[in-house]
């Protein structure tokens, strides 16, 4: 069974849990999110995309 969730929702839940249970400050979560968006527009973007696709493949059981 494959479940389809928007990535923004998943990241929001992770950020909420980190703020609520781990004591991470809100500004730290915002800075990390902004850094991720900035990093996605660099030369590292293909490596990030490849790693993300491989991770999703492993979780879904479709990785070869």
Question: Residue 64's pLDDT is what?
Answer: 64
C-alpha 28: how far from its chain's center? 15
pTM for the structure as a whole: 0.59
C-alpha 39: how far from its chain's center? 12
* Residue 9 clears pLDDT 70, i.e. is over it: yes
* Residue 11 clears pLDDT 70, i.e. is over it: yes
| CA dist., res. 16 & res. 11, Å (int) | 8
The 10s digit of each residue's pLDDT in 34-55 is 888 888 889 988 988 888 888 8
Average pLDDT over residues 2-10: 80
């Amino acid at each position: 069974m494959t479940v389809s969730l928007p990535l923004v929702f998943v990241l929001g839940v992770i950020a909420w849990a980190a703020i609520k249970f781990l004591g991470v400050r809100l500004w730290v979560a915002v800075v990390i999110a902004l850094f991720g968006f900035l990093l996605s527009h660099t030369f590292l973007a293909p490596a990030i995309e490849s790693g993300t696709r491989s991770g999703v493949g492993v979780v879904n059981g479709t990785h070869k």
